[in-house]
A = this chain, B = another copy of it.
Amino acid sequence: MGYSNSHSGRLDATFAALADPTRRAILAMLASGETSVNDLAKPFKMSQPAISKHLKVLERAGLISTSLDKQRRPRRIEAAPLKEANEWLEKYREFWESRYNKLDDVLEEMKAEQANKAETKSKRRRKNG
């Protein structure tokens, strides 16, 4: 129960942190390497305190950490929570793939029907022509 609860709590924090376009963009930037807060703020039309708030949310969710370099204090991405979120979603993969497979089946059926109709028509034409 304890594990399950803390696991559930981590998923809550991860998904909540990912529910914001700025935070997702920050993660995308950090995926290419450690970045200082200054450089992270550059692409956004946002004050540095606003960016710092987003960094705090990401840090609390364990999605980023601060590197040891005391002067620059660059942030780096932490992949573990992304892996956990991915694992949760993966449980539904079979499900959504079967959904799409079902759609594929329907489309195949429609095509077959159409082909059938076309054939019947051309047969009729040959008969009558």
Where the two chains meet, the residues of A that have a C-beta atom closer than 8 Å to any C-beta of B are: 8, 11-16, 18-21, 24, 27-28, 31, 77, 79-80, 82-83, 85-86, 88-93, 95-96, 99-100
Contact = CB atoms under 8 A, between A and B. Distances in A.
B83 A86 contact: no
Contact of A21 (B8, B14, B79, B92): B8
What does DSSP make chain A's interface, helix, strand, loop or mixed?
helix
A116 B120 CA distance: 79
Contacts of A15: 15-16, 18-19
A34 to B, nearest CB: 13
Contacts of A82: 89, 92, 96
Contacts of A27: 92
